[in-house]
Amino acid sequence: MGIAHKWFLIRLMSSEKKFAEESGLDPYDLLSALAQKAPAGCNGLICVPTLKGEFGKKHLRGGFIGVSIAHGKEYLARALLEGIAFHVRMVFEELEALGAEIEKVRLSGGGAKSKFWSQIRADVTGKTFEVVEAIETGCLGAAMLALIATGKYRDLVSATEEMVRISRVYKPDPERHKKYSDLYKKYRRAYEFLDKLYEAHVISD
């Protein structure tokens, strides 16, 4: 869903993005700061962030559902972040339906920097999110595999226990999770509506 963040910054926050880059700031921090100005749930505004479709659904596109004159840019920003979190929850549920057990989720990279968005993901999914201390997790993973190959560690589980450090933990807030669970039902309906709409070629590129 990184494409959705990038699209929002380029298309709807171009001046802020330019200012951030010229000032040595992270544009994504400005997006999070803007989103914090809107209330949780965005007063009914829902964003389906599938801007380029997804696996098995190349026809699918995204959209903002429920936009009114009362919704400013800050609502669109928060709806985007919440929409991505709703989509993550949908994926989690599909995996759990196949037998997977998901209790904790580990974050790394740019998306892990925002405390605000990390908390949204925890509140929406009902899962605990842990931020990995290492910045270059790809390099860390390569090092772990190399050490397993040399016999230093038995497997990835033991290597992870020894080498991965957690810097922050985000637990879901029960009250916000309940509110988001009600909104999630609406998100599923919005997603399914757009899926059928584009599949039937009612709207096309």
Query: Which of 35-39, 167-171, 197-201 has the least mean pLDDT?
Result: 197-201
Q: What is the pLDDT of residue 159?
A: 83
Higher pLDDT, 200 or 42: 42
Task: With 0.75 as the threshold, say if the pTM is over it.
Answer: yes
Task: For the chain, list the domains and their CATH numbers.
Answer: 2-99+182-199 (3.30.420.40)
Is pLDDT at 28 greater than 70 in this prediction? yes
d(CA 150, CA 158): 14
Q: Token match 């226990």: residue?
A: 161
Is pLDDT at 189 greater than 70 in this prediction? yes
Residues 131-139, mean pLDDT to the nearest whole number:
79
Is pLDDT at 136 greater than 80 in this prediction? no
DSSP string, the chain: -HHHHHHHHHHH-HHHHHHHHHHT--HHHHHHHHHTTSPTTGGG-EEE--BTBBTTBTT---EEES--TT--HHHHHHHHHHHHHHHHHHHHHHHHHTT---SEEEE-SGGGS-HHHHHHHHHHH--EEEEES-S-HHHHHHHHHHHHHTTSSSSHHHHHHHH--EEEEEPPPHHHHHHHHHHHHHHHHHHHHHHHHHHTTSS--
Question: Of 26, 162, 9, 134, which Cα lies nearest the Cα of 81?
Answer: 9
Higher pLDDT, 46 or 198: 46
Going by pLDDT thresholds of 50, 70 and 90, the confidence category of residue 97 is very high
